[in-house]
Amino acid sequence: MEDAVRSFRNYGVRIVLGRSVADDPMAQVIALTAINSASRSFLGNVEVVASPNMPLLVRGFEGASMGDFLSWLGIEGKPSDPQATWPTIAVGDSELEHAGNGALHPWADGWRYGLGQPHVKSGKFFPPAGVAAAGLAVSDAFSMLRGDNRYAGRRNVALSLWSASPVENWKDEPSCITSVPSVWLVGLGHLGQAYAWTLGFMAPHEGAVVFCQDVDCVTESTVFTSLLSTKADIYRSKARLTASWLEARGYETRLVERRFDEHQRVGLGEPRIACFGVDNTSARRAIEGAGFRFVVDAGLGAGYRDFRAIRVRTFPGPSKAAAIWANADVHNSIESAPAYKALLAAGADPCGVTILATRAVGAPFVGCVAAAHTVAELMRNQLGFSTHGYLDLNLRDPQAIEAACAFE
Residue 172: phi and psi, rounded to 5, are -60, 130
Q: Reply yes or no: is the peptide bond before residue 316 cis, omega within 30 of 0.
A: yes
Report whether 242 contacts 248 (CB < 8 A): no
Residues 6+ apart with CB under 8 A from 246: 196, 199, 200, 210, 212, 253
Measured CA to CA, the distance from residue 362 to residue 286 in angstroms comes to: 23
Map residue 70 onto helix, strand or coil: helix
Count of C-beta atoms within a 10 Å radius of residue 171:
8
Q: Which residues pair with 391 in a beta bridge?
A: 312
Residue type, 328: A
In eight-state DSSP terms, residue 176 is P
Question: CA–CA separation, 170 vs 159, rounded Å?
Answer: 10
φ/ψ of 179, rounded to 5, equals -95, 110
Under a CB-based contact definition with an 8 Å cutoff, are residues 302 and 361 in contact?
A: yes
Q: Residues 6 or more apart from 261 whose CB is under 8 A from it?
A: 282, 283, 286
CA distances from residue 185 to 136, 178, 182, 244, 298 in whole angstroms, order as listed: 23, 17, 10, 14, 12
**What's the CA gap between 195 and 251, in Å, rounded?**
14
Residues carrying an active site annotation: 351
Q: List the beta strands (DSSP E) in 331-399.
A: 387-388, 390-394
Neighbours of 336 (CB within 10 A): 8
Tell me the C-alpha distance between 38 and 278, whole Å.
23
